[in-house]
Amino acid sequence: MRGRKPVKPPLGDVITFPTAPRRVPVPPAHLKGPAREIWDETARILVANSIYDVDCEQMLAAYCVQYARFIEADAHVQREGLMIKSKRGSGRYNPYVGLSNAACENMLKLARQLGLTPASRKRVVRVRNVGSSSPAAKFLNTS
């Protein structure tokens, strides 16, 4: 054909269908204070990315505890400094530096396993049908 090609009309507007609401899991009872706040924030991220499943609960709780310990130890280091005076008057390393480093290392190991780091996010297997609250879901489930 010679000349201009005909312009195809658009197929129509894109319609977004509502998805089944997914509930953020209830945190374990032993999480208190900052660890509980970290749970709420991190669990929302995992549920939104379809990563959270029931078997992740203990690992997520351990991540929250390590993150809270890191924050607390780092606050001590910022308040007192890297070096503190001993009873004899000489300087020594602040013991909270070691606690902060250990908690950060443990936190990052757990974050990799949960898929919370950019590099590990691609390797994590997504969960299907997380918390489907549809009344017909029990009839449509083929497993």
Domain-embedded: residue 15: no
Give the pLDDT confidence of 70-112 residue by residue, as tens digits.
999 999 999 999 998 888 888 889 999 999 999 999 999 999 9
How many domains does one find in the chain? Answer: 1
Domain-embedded: residue 27: no
Domain-embedded: residue 101: yes
Give the pLDDT confidence of 27-86 residue by residue, as tens digits.
999 999 999 999 999 999 888 888 888 888 999 999 999 999 999 999 999 999 999 888
Is the predicted pLDDT of residue 130 greater than 50, yes or no?
Answer: no
Domain-embedded: residue 40: no
Q: Which residues of 70-101 are buried (b: 16+ CB within 10 A; e: fewer)?
A: bbbbbeebeeeeeeeeeeeeeeeebebbebbe
Q: Is 90 left (phi over 0), alpha (psi -120 to 50) or beta?
A: beta
Q: Where in the sequence is the domain holding 93, given as residue range(s)?
A: 53-116
